[in-house]
A and B are shown apart, each in its own frame.
Chain A
């Protein structure tokens, strides 16, 4: 949409729906923010299913003696580094939010880009890990670990990629001058999704990598 210097009102925020009740909701929280929290709650049930599946099938390969085992494959130091990246991405995300809330667009874009870069490093690490495991003989069909590990972490990784695309699109729009300080909520909502994805990884990292194998 055209952005003119003369206009006192940004077109994007002009007359939102329900103008006669402008921005007044029964609960006092915005519709968009309520929606993302509700959606995130739903996603807990989704990841929970795959985590439960992982736990259920954990250790079953021992009796079948098939394929490489977790202890042979998992590289804790390496994954610790990628996990650290994801944690740092949450920090940079919230700093990006703080920046746009203060109207500091330059810092906002820097922190946002940092988040994207941290996220991409995490994904890079995942890709490396997957290819390594594949090389060492772990396929989806090899054993229960192959099945549950790749699908659980793969779905998580897909969520991270979606988040990266989302954040990149915000970054691009910011460069185009479309993300003013009053659009900070859009950033907050993307941030909530991003933190959720990070939080899921906190659980996965502990459950898959750190819990001792029997």
Chain B
């Protein structure tokens, strides 16, 4: 701090610099490490999650190679267990949830006309916990063996102590501790999204004027908030049983493994809604734009989303129909499960009604969104079949279930994610992904996906069990399994085309216009990519689909009339260099990283019972929290 500015020094007292000067830069490679900008954080979430998608995909390909023929020898039983466990764990916790966080992070603030989320540093902390947590779990591969008890980790398989247990190695410890860690990050982000959506909307944006995307992310945040604690509790109990000889799930002492299943699925069922609602959110934004019609039945769609959020808490034991909980319990949960199909179905009809009669443009985002509707519906239908207890008693633990959840999670969520990527790519990166490659990507994935998973309905009906590393000759399952494996590699080809598209676009893609899709929501009212502060002037909202209403009105016969461009609809230039006076954005910071770093250190301390390491982790955590809370969100840089 120079002493030249005496007057300003009086008004802005000199900031005492601590050991590490607070980073200031918002450009350059290093700025990505210390950023608190929701857009940068979103890109990091997205890129890391796509990386894990590829890793999980490779795990899937290995599984399919092993199962392509009877008596496969590609993977041993032990290795197979690791692969299917990590495939599930990766796709759920390291791909699905983080990609939702990516889209939510980028677009929640923009869609409500805000400059950032409520707690920018907490946002960054959430990302680091995700990255470090994922690395922590994967480090197990070289530290004694990866988790191998399934992504759901049932006790007593996972809860018996290592010395006398059913599973070799510390995989289950890595799994339990790693998921607790990831849960902390998820809850932090959930709190952030809730406060942002409730408190930081632009003037005039009432709750019922928020885009459906924002509503769904809000429901997801509440679900996350309430679903992670039961999981954390169950994982602590597993860890304690394994390492401290407690008896939570030790039947010999009076414990009950079924308690684990209850606690896990109290988390697990809301979790599947946490996974799918962001997909529904994305699709609800894409369909209206590419049909040039507003979403049909906005209020109904919003309330259905909320209803799913509530009802999702009453269905969990439908994962336990074959565990002997008795006819009273199974009937009750069967009914509640059937009930939840109603709001889900309502949404599907609303999406169809949105497209019906619209001026439909079948561009790549729209193709993925339509694929979502078709495939998610199929998955939903097999789900309704599961809700019938006698039927489920046969279907459970067979490939029928595998077919069901891949239809909703891959055919549904992943397709929606790809749709979202193609839709919002120009906004985030300023370039449109290549349309021809996009369509190729789509068709390869549709064909590959259905070839892989549709046969599994039949395999399940014929009794092929899940989670089993091989099957014998003579069961008649070989042909369909081979088909599924071929399908998996076609999916891989589709994903490869996507990667080629990304690289091609980076090198030779053309600049996109600012509003390439003639879209409806506020994120399109700023440049592509948006400046750090999002909007030079926070827009005043008077209607749902505010941006659309600034571009168009309707004549007396209800036909669309394009309005002359005005200040209200003008999108500012891409590289607006000057930061408008008076906007103070939150400053970059190291501390979210430092605090996050404490967590895996504590984690290794717990897993390897190195209490000194645990202590170091706690010290780092506390040191970081102290420094974080001592610095202001926005540093004066005068």
Contact with B along A16-36 (1 / 0, CB 8 A): 111111000111010100110
Q: Mark A26-70 against chain B: 1 for CB-CB distance below 8 A, else 0.
A: 110101001100110111011011100100110011011010000
- With A18-B200, A42-B229, A46-B229 as given contacts, are A11 and B584 in contact (CB-CB < 8 Å)? no
* Segment of A1-9, A95-103, A115-123 in the binding face: A1-9
In the bound complex, CA of A36 to CA of B74 (Å): 51
Q: Is the CB of B633 within 8 A of A31?
A: no
- The answer, yes or no, to whether B292 is at the interface (CB within 8 Å) is no
For residue A203, CB closer than 8 A to chain B, the reply is no
Could you say which residues of chain B place their CB within 8 Å of the CB of A80? none
- The answer to whether A26 touches B200 (Cβ under 8 A) is yes
CB distance from A26 to the nearest CB of B (A): 5
Instruction: Tell me whether A147 is interfacial, beta carbon within 8 Å.
Output: yes
From B226, which residue of chain A is reached at the shortest CB distance?
A45
B439 in the interface, Cβ–Cβ < 8 Å? Answer: no
- A-chain residues with CB within 8 Å of residue B12 when the two chains form the complex: 14
The answer to whether B263 and A31 touch across the interface, beta carbons within 8 angstroms, is: no
Let me know if A132 is at the binding interface, CB within 8 A: no
| Chain B, range 179-216, C-beta contacts under 8 Å to A | 187, 191-192, 194-195, 198-201
Name which residue of chain B comes closest to A63, CB basis. B254
Of B135-143, B242-250, B326-334, the one touching chain A: B242-250
Whether A151 sits at the interface, judged by CB under 8 Å, is yes
**Cα distance A19–B586 in the bound complex, in angstroms:** 10
Say yes or no: A15-B13 contact (C-beta < 8 A), given A35-B195, A144-B253.
no
Interface code B206-232, partner A: CB below 8 Å = 1, 0 otherwise?
000000000000000000011111101
Q: Does B14 contact A (CB under 8 A)?
A: yes
Q: Is A181 engaged at the interface, CB distance under 8 Å to the other chain?
A: no
Q: Quick one: which of A2, A7, A60, A151 contacts B246, CB cutoff 8 A?
A: A151
CB pair B247–A20 under 8 Å, yes or no, is no
B254 touches A64 (CB 8 A): yes
Q: Does B259 contact A (CB under 8 A)?
A: yes
Docked pose: A48 CA to B253 CA in angstroms = 23
Decide: B13 and A7 in contact? CB cutoff 8 A: yes
Minimum Cβ distance to chain B for residue A69 (Å): 13
The 8 A CB mask of B247-270 against A (1 = contact, 0 = none) is 110000111100100010000000
Given contacts A26-B199, A38-B194, whether A17 and B634 have CB atoms under 8 Å apart is yes
A2 to B13, CA, bound (A): 7
Which A residues lie within 8 Å of B237 (CB)? 53, 151
Given contacts A11-B15, A26-B200, contact A49 B233 (CB under 8 A): yes
Contact of A147 with B248 in the complex, beta carbons under 8 Å: yes
In chain A between 159 and 209, which residues have their CB closer than 8 angstroms to a CB of chain B? 165, 169
Residues of B close to A15: CB separation below 8 A:
584, 634, 636
CB distance from A60 to the nearest CB of B (A): 4
Q: Does A12 contact B (CB under 8 A)?
A: yes
Known: A15-B634, A26-B200. A39 touches B13 (CB 8 A): no
Chain A residues near B10 (CB, 8 Å)? 6-7
The answer for the CA separation of A57 and B259 in the assembled complex, in Å, is 10
A35 to B121, CA, bound (A): 14
A154 and chain B: residue at smallest CB distance: B240
**Distance, CA A6 to CA B12, complexed state (A):** 10
Of listed B13, B256, B263, residue having the most chain A CB within 10 A: B13
Give chain B nearest CB distance to A52 CB in angstroms: 8
Please, which residue of chain B has its CB at the minimum distance from the CB of A19?
B584
Check A17 against B633 for contact (C-beta < 8 Å): yes
Tell me whether B586 and A57 are in contact (CB under 8 A): no
Cα A165 to Cα B625 in complex, Å, equals 12
Q: Which of B240, B253, B263 has the most CB of A within 10 A?
A: B253
Shortest distance from the beta carbon of B137 to any chain A beta carbon, whole Å? 22
Do the beta carbons of B247 and A31 come within 8 Å of each other? no
B236 in contact (CB, < 8 A):
yes
Complex CA distance for A5 and B248, rounded to whole angstroms: 59
Residue B553 is within 8 A (CB to CB) of chain A in the complex: no
A155–B585 Cα distance when bound, in Å, is: 38
Q: Which of B112-120, B277-285, B293-301 contacts A (4 or more CB under 8 A)?
A: B112-120
In Å, the complex CA distance between A2 and B629 comes to 16
By a CB distance below 8 angstroms, the chain A residues around B234 are 49
CB-CB < 8 A to B198: which residues of A? 26-27, 34
Is the CB of A143 closer than 8 A to any CB of chain B?
yes
8 Å CB interface, B614-638 against A? 622, 626, 629-630, 632-634, 636
Contacts of B1-50 to chain A: CB distance below 8 A = 10-16
Please tell me if the beta carbons of A11 and B636 are within 8 angstroms of each other in the complex: yes
Residues of B within 8 A of A165 (CB): 622
Task: Find the B residue at minimum CB distance from A155.
Answer: B236
In the docked arrangement, what's the CA distance between A147 and B15, Å? 51
Is B564 at the interface (CB under 8 A from chain A)? no
Contact surface of B with A, Cβ cutoff 8 Å: 10-16, 115-116, 118-120, 187, 191-192, 194-195, 198-201, 225-230, 232-234, 236-237, 240, 244-248, 253-256, 259, 263, 538, 582-586, 622, 626, 629-630, 632-634, 636
6 closest Cβ pairs, A-B complex: A49-B233, A141-B245, A46-B229, A45-B229, A60-B254, A25-B199
25 pairs, CB–CB < 8 Å, chain A vs chain B? A1-B15, A2-B16, A7-B10, A11-B15, A12-B632, A15-B584, A17-B585, A19-B634, A20-B583, A25-B200, A26-B198, A27-B199, A31-B118, A34-B194, A39-B187, A42-B229, A45-B226, A45-B229, A49-B233, A53-B248, A56-B256, A140-B246, A141-B244, A147-B246, A147-B255
